[in-house]
Amino acid sequence: MRWSGLVYGLVCIFVVSIAQAALAQTTAVAPPPPEKGPASDERPVDVAKIPAKKLFGAESRAAKLAPRAIGFYSRGCLSGGEYLPPDGPAWQAMRLSRNRNWAHPDLVDLVKRLATESKAAGEWPGLLVGDLTQPRGGPMTSGHASHQVGLDADVWLTPMPERRFSWEDREKVSAVSMLKNSLDVNPEAFTPGVVAIIKRAASYPEVERIGVNPAIKYGLCKAAGGDTPWLAKIQGWGGHTYHMHIRIKCPPGSNGCRSQGEPTGTSCAVAERWYADTKAWLENPKKAPKGPKTKRKPKPPMTLEDLPDACRDVLAAAPTGGPKLLAETIVPPEQKPSGLVPAVAAAAPIPIGEPAGPGVFAAPHQLQPSAEAALAVPQPKPAEHLRRAQQ
Ligand SMILES: [Zn+2]
């Protein structure tokens, strides 16, 4: 019995020590990871390969450099950008969360002049200003192919109401289409005031061209009674049913800025041909020939390598500009799940402009609540020359 008791005891000790050893192994602290060797398996991020829209879209302030539009409208960037205040005596900037009310100072100045001079002349009650560009220009996170050098401005063809829009209104209110169908302007929206504001915009010598939907160009030709010098700057572009796209020439001092040159294909005869061709196409749409569909590969996004070298300096420069309160609350949309900036920004001190004179302007069109659908007008494919003109 004594022997068997001893054996039993020894077996117990053995079992317990094995269990302890096993436990010790499982609770042991993991050995430190091996030290990283020289950067053979760890590649540094190559900024030149990052889509340029991410780099430029993340900048909330302008580059503290001399004002300069660099490159081409659809391939470039902006140094020394200026901020168009959200409110002025005759304008209100829309969609403030996009932080795209920046431009070359010459364009900011032009927008202000167009707003105040057309109002003073009793032509238009004030501008609703859409996108200009990002603080440092460059490819955009969404939307436009152009607007990259700070020389393009989208101005709504909806008259500004007398009341000040709140921050939220500026996100939600949508512009009114000038078209009643793919061919014809809607006289309810396409008023003499619209003709007057486009004509005035075209009258400034620094304006190189103005893009509007071909149906609007056709409507302008009719309203003007045929070709006039100011119509030569108005080009029919796809889309652009609710706003005009003002493009100015390269400003003096903008080395490396490439102008597009005189607009072509802007005669009223071209507009009439567009009207007839589109009408025929709508009445008898031609089906695409049958055969294997070849899918076009989407173009890879532009990188810094695709842009002028000076755009690297623009990205690297110290920030400047913008009203403090507003600019600090604006963050790139990717960082905010809602994509919107809190309404607190509306509390930023906004200069109140002069109220519109009583009875001077007709009541603005009923502004509809936001709906991209409100802007969607079926458009036949624009002709190749129209597509190219927009670049
Ligand atoms: Zn535009």
Q: What is the pLDDT of residues 147-195, one digit of tens each?
A: 999 999 999 999 999 999 999 999 999 999 999 999 999 999 999 999 9
Whether 199 has a pLDDT exceeding 80, the answer reads yes
Q: Which residue has the higher pLDDT, 233 or 323?
A: 233
- Contacts of residue 247, defined as CB under 8 A and 6 or more positions apart, other chains included, come to 73, 146, 151, 152, 207, 208, 209, 210, 211, 260
CATH code of the domain in which 216 resides: 3.30.1380.10
In angstroms, what is the span from residue 79 Cα to ligand 1's centroid? 20
Calculate how far, in angstroms, residue 252's C-alpha sits from the geometric centre of ligand 1.
22
Query: Strand, helix or coil at 35?
Result: coil
**Interval 235-288: pLDDT, tens:** 999 999 999 999 999 999 899 999 999 999 999 999 999 999 999 999 988 777
> What is the 91 CA–ligand 1 centroid distance (Å)?
17
Give 303's contacts (C-beta < 8 A, 6+ positions apart). Answer: 48, 49, 50, 51, 52
Q: Give the residues across from 247 on adjacent strands.
A: 152, 209
Amino acid 47: pLDDT? 77
Ligand 1 mean position, distance from CA 245 (Å):
5
Residue 329 has pLDDT above 70, yes or no: no
Residue 25 CA, ligand 1 centroid: distance in Å: 66
What tokens were used for 355?
Answer: 């109220």
315 within some domain: yes
> Could you tell me the distance, in angstroms and rounded to a whole number, from the CA of residue 165 to the centre of ligand 1?
22
In this structure, is residue 311 part of a structural domain?
A: yes
Distance 58 CA to ligand 1 centre (A): 20
CA of 176 to the centre of ligand 1 (A): 16
Asked whether residue 353 is domain-assigned, the answer is no
> From ligand 1's centre to the CA of 129, what distance in Å?
11
**Count of domains for the chain:** 1
228 C-alpha to center of ligand 1: Å?
A: 24
Of 159-173, 220-234, 246-260, 343-357, which range is least confident? 343-357
Mean pLDDT of all residues in 22-49? 50
Specify the pairing of strand 243-248 against strand 207-212: antiparallel
In this predicted structure, the answer to whether residue 201 has a pLDDT above a threshold of 50 is yes
Centre of ligand 1 from the C-alpha of residue 376, in Å: 16
Considering the domain boundaries, does residue 363 fall inside one?
Answer: no
Q: Ligand 1 centre from 153 Cα, in Å?
A: 6
Location of structure tokens 């075209």: 202
Determine the structural domain holding residue 221 and report its residue range: 67-283+304-343
Q: Quick one: what percent of the chain has pLDDT higher than 90?
A: 62
Q: With 50 as the cut, is the pLDDT of residue 140 above it?
A: yes
pTM recorded for the entire structure: 0.74
Residue 163 is assigned to a structural domain of this protein: yes
Q: Is residue 201 a contact partner of residue 210, using CB atoms and an 8 Å limit?
A: yes
What is the SS3 assignment for 248?
A: strand
